[in-house]
Amino acid sequence: MSFLSETDSMHLALEANTLRQLVIKMLARAGSGHTAGPLGMADIFAAFYFHILVHKPEDPSWEDRDRLILSNGHIVPIRYVAMAQAGYFPLEELDTYRSLGSRLQGHPERTRLLGLETTSGPLGEGLSQAIGIALGARMDKKDFYTYCLMSDGEHQCGNTWEAIMFAGKEKLSHLIAVVDRNTIQISGHTEDVMPLEPLRDKYEAFGWNVLLTDGHNIELFCESIEQAKLETEKPTVIIASTISGKGVDSIEADYTWHGKVPTSEQATLWVTDLEKARANIATI
């Protein structure tokens, strides 16, 4: 069963393409930031902000909104551009990214920008924050979902596993975690730095419902979210296979692009290539 029409699938693919272009332009203007992770998560952020989330960009503090927690805050460029494109703030504000006094800092700060649920930076804290929100929602008899986006590398942090154990014990079925399983981190490949596999077995051992999906197939990802919502006794983790730097052939799966940005010349070439890819999407 498909949860997306052909029109919806095309719309989300085009949005993901737009988000990638906006990220590249924003990073090149700022001259600092993270490139690989934001590009790799563009499809998932397009799915969330333009299909999955129950939210009101015009009312970011709406009580019954879904909560989206970004644990690996360094990929916040993709969240900023998704929020701007969705109408949380003007697109022109992206020009202020990482500048003094801007609401759009290199890591998200909740008190600066409505629509950010938490402040994040140090890895390994986001799932604990999401658990607190999900547990509070259950106590208050609220039906919204709490989503937590996590890097695979932060599973090398002990606090992450304490949170995984706690969520399994509490059977937080309205908590859905998404792991960006791109297999790289700033210093190399995860399985060389500190092996994580078998990741699925580990989550299952701690009482989680585990789903595997292709993080670049928006239709499959949306189907995984719907499957997760059918689980009423366990928290769910969606392990999404992704490619860092997705959309820019020359940097895909290259961990050295974790924390550097394109020059203006590179940005122009990359955006041109994405425009060509966009034309292909529109003719499918």
pLDDT at 284 over 70: no
Specify the pLDDT at position 122: 87
Q: To the nearest whole number, what is the mean pLDDT of the chain? A: 96
Query: Among residues 77, 58, 96, which one has the least CA distance to residue 19?
Result: 77
Specify the pLDDT at position 223: 98
Residue 2: band (very low, low, confident or very high) from pLDDT cuts 50, 70, 90: low
pTM score over 0.85:
yes
| Pairing relationship of beta strands 209-214 and 67-70 according to DSSP bridges | unpaired
Specify the pLDDT at position 283: 66
Query: Among residues 70, 41, 36, 42, which one has the least CA distance to residue 244?
Result: 36
**Burial (CB count within 10 angstroms: exposed 0-12, middle 13-18, buried 19+), residue 231:** middle
**Tens digit of each residue's pLDDT (9 = 90 or more) over 66-80:** 999 999 999 999 999
Residue 1: band (very low, low, confident or very high) from pLDDT cuts 50, 70, 90: very low
CA–CA dist 8, 179 (Å, integer): 24
3-state secondary structure the chain: CCCCCHHHHHHHHHHHHHHHHHHHHHHHHHCCCCCHHHHHCHHHHHHHHHHHCCCCCCCCCCCCCCEEEECCHHHHHHHHHHHHHHCCCCHHHHHHCCCCCCCCCCCCCCCCCCCCCCCCCCCCCHHHHHHHHHHHHHHCCCCCCEEEEEECHHHHCHHHHHHHHHHHHHCCCCEEEEEEECCEECCEEHHHHCCCCCHHHHHHHCCCEEEEEECCCHHHHHHHHHHHHCCCCCCEEEEEECCCCCCCHHHCCCHHHCCCCCCHHHHHHHHHHHHHHHHHHHHC
CA–CA dist 98, 260 (Å, integer): 14
Q: What structural domains does the chain harbor?
A: 6-283 (3.40.50.970)
pLDDT at 199 over 60: yes
Stronger pLDDT, 4 or 150, i.e. the higher one: 150
Contact of 235 with 4, CB cutoff 8 Å:
no
Residue 260: band (very low, low, confident or very high) from pLDDT cuts 50, 70, 90: very high
**Tens digit of each residue's pLDDT (9 = 90 or more) over 32-76:** 999 999 999 999 999 999 999 999 999 999 999 999 999 999 999
Query: Among residues 5, 6, 88, 2, which one has the least CA distance to residue 45?
Result: 88
